[in-house]
Structure 1
Amino acid sequence: MPHPPVEVAEGIHCIDTGFLGREGLAASYLLLRGGRAAFVETGTTHAVPCLLAALEALGLGRDRVDYVIVTHVHLDHAGGAGALMTHLPAARLVVHPRGARHLIDPARLVAGATAVYGEAAMARDYGEVVAVPAERVVEAGDGFQLTLGGATLRFLDTPGHARHHFCVLDEATGGLFAGDTGGMSLRALDGPRGPFVYLPSAPVQFDPEAWHATLERLAALGPRMLLLTHFGRIDAVGRAFATLHAEIDRYVAIARACPHAGDAAQAWLEARLREAMAERLAAEEVPLPAEEALALLAHDITVNAQGLAVWRAQAG
């Protein structure tokens, strides 16, 4: 049974998409303003029943949804957009201009992800990626605004994790839908020092300098909370951004120190990232046993190592 939506701020409901069969890993948000609704992030195609169930649980007809918004086109955020749109007759898809073509014709997106994960994992973890008709797509560049039930959403181009990434500021609450730009912070790792925030350096567009600049720009907006896809609301915005600045520099140093190439580089980077994560888990007094916490983070460590390997090869 899908988890019921949880209201995390006024009119903002968090929905667990069950990504990789795990709880508390990936979220979609259902935003309600003035009787109208928008989804922010969709998860994979497998998550669509959860999102439709959330509408039903809140007593909302599918025709009340005006927008489906995806912060970027990585499949754990946007893979289910096309399938979801087939159930929402009034909705338009809002996506970064650099990502729009990949959801209108997802062939290259799927091929790239399949090359990384393999066909079996793609089917198991992501499902079929359904194309979105071009006439239902809205491209939201930097500074774009839209109105939902009288409330304003402001879109900001936020490269660093990916060049096709935006963040969305809900001006009614000061909440920032931060996608992966605001980092990852699994609630199972919350400790006495607050949320444990870490960097998603997934392939293939990790850009340290751009990410630093993005974080500085977002901090200047003064958001009251971060609404993370991975996972949920955190209020310690300044601490999160400071952590991410430090982690960007740490990851760059690890990548530059790698003495290997190819498969050997991947293995070396994974080992160093695991060591760095273990050090942080201990320093921040995360309450889970170290091996249990590292098991929760194992998938992310592997993907982050892949991203650093690509960045290292491109940076020279």
Structure 2
Amino acid sequence: MSSPAADFLQALGHGVHAIDTGFHRPRFDAAYLLVDEGRAAFIDTGTRHALPRLLGALSSLGLPLDAVDWVIPTHVHLDHAGGVGPLMQALPQARLLVHPRGARHMIDPSALYQGALAVYGQAEMDRSYGELVGVDADRVQTSTDGMSLVLGGRTLQLIDTPGHALHHHCIWDPVSRGWFTGDTFGISYRELDNAAGQPWIFPASTPVQFQPDALRVSIGRLLAPAPAAVYLTHYGCLGQVQALGSQLLQVLDEVVTLGRALRDDPQRYQALRQGLRALYLRSVRQHGSALTDAAIAEVLAVDIELNAQGMAVWLDREKR
């Protein structure tokens, strides 16, 4: 391994460990390793290129491969689940727990690959994602809304959380009183924290199943138990969750207003890109970021492109 585990493994307390998967840039994409009484679960995996880091995290914590009972992608987008197949091959005792709408894509990822290929193109697929590997069907279990799952001495709970994707669930950890939120509770990059260390957050409307009304309901369900923390895939553990949720819903409302204003624009995609860039810059500035506009736009460049694409799909769906 080219770098020690300390470079990408962060202990967050309560048996929760964040693994920087190395996707795109540092602190962009996290997988989580949850450990209790010597038993472990991975929540999200990053892409298949993250496998050395995932296995390195186990080694660093002194955990054998057969200590992992569960691999749980929050949803099957490749930055969250592209590494599931090779990771499952390496873990002899693990079972895969996936949303029922995503299970077939984990067993046979060919359609998932083709869908991502249409969005990203072959060069980006080869560079960032690589080949996808299916999981044996007899090792796959599907989640149900409200189900419980025992890991060591704690009992996790899963709920169905559409809005970003129809195949999305979130995982509640009662020990840390935290949610593993995938993309349902938005995206927050540490580069955009203000001088007081307070995070800025925004919704993920990436293709192809963005549904803002459903997302509002899902965010409300996540806020209901007054969580102490949210564990975001993009990126990290955040507190002050109620205030963060209010900010997220406010930006979501602004995104929806922008989209509906541009629904019939003849250059809609370009207008959405420009509109999101302006919206994000204004919001980050109001939050107190010290970065230049150019630096903010660079941090958010990938999200501006993908969120504009997702908004366009949502607007087309609303027309029908």
Scaled to the shorter chain, the TM-score interval is over 0.9
User: Structure 1 vs Structure 2: percent identity of aligned residues?
Assistant: 47
Q: Is the 8 A contact 2:38 2:63 kept in 1?
A: no
Where in structure 1 are there 5+ consecutive unaligned residues?
none
Q: What corresponds to 1:253 in structure 2?
A: 257
Q: Aligned partners of 1:100, 1:221: CA distance in 2, in Å?
A: 28
TM-score, normalising length: structure 1: 0.97
Q: Is the 8 A contact 2:263 2:315 kept in 1?
A: no
**The residue matched to 1:77 in structure 2 has which SS?**
helix
Q: What corresponds to 1:235 in structure 2?
A: 239
Q: Is the 8 A contact 2:186 2:248 kept in 1?
A: yes
Counterpart selection for 1:212 from 206, 213, 216: 216
Judged with a 3 Å threshold, the aligned counterparts in structure 2 of structure 1 residues 104 and 247 are, in CA distance, closer, same or farther, namely same
Does 2:181 match 1:178? Answer: yes
TM-score, normalising length: structure 2: 0.96
How far is 1:260 from its partner?
4.8
Q: What corresponds to 1:95 in structure 2?
A: 98
How far is 1:254 from its partner?
1.0
Q: What corresponds to 2:29 in structure 1?
A: 26
Per-residue CA deviations over 1:235-285 (Å, capped at 9, x if unaligned) read: 0201121112112211111111116567x3211100000000110121111
**The residue matched to 2:315 in structure 1 has which SS?**
helix
Counterpart selection for 1:111 from 102, 106, 114: 114
Q: Aligned partners of 2:265, 2:135: CA distance in 1, in Å?
A: 39
Q: What one-letter code is carried by the residue in structure 1 that aligns with 2:14?
A: E
Per-residue CA deviations over 1:18-59 (Å, capped at 9, x if unaligned) read: 112x10000001100011011110000011111011111111
Does 2:58 match 1:55? Answer: yes
Q: What corresponds to 1:221 in structure 2?
A: 225
Q: What corresponds to 1:83 in structure 2?
A: 86
Q: Aligned partners of 1:138, 1:244: CA distance in 2, in Å?
A: 32
Does 2:48 match 1:45? Answer: yes
Pairwise CA RMSD? 1.2
Flag as ranges the 4+ runs of structure 1 deviating above 3 A. Answer: 259-262
Q: Aligned partners of 1:289, 1:268: CA distance in 2, in Å?
A: 22
Q: What one-letter code is carried by the residue in structure 2 that aligns with 1:80?
A: G
How far is 1:289 from its partner?
2.0
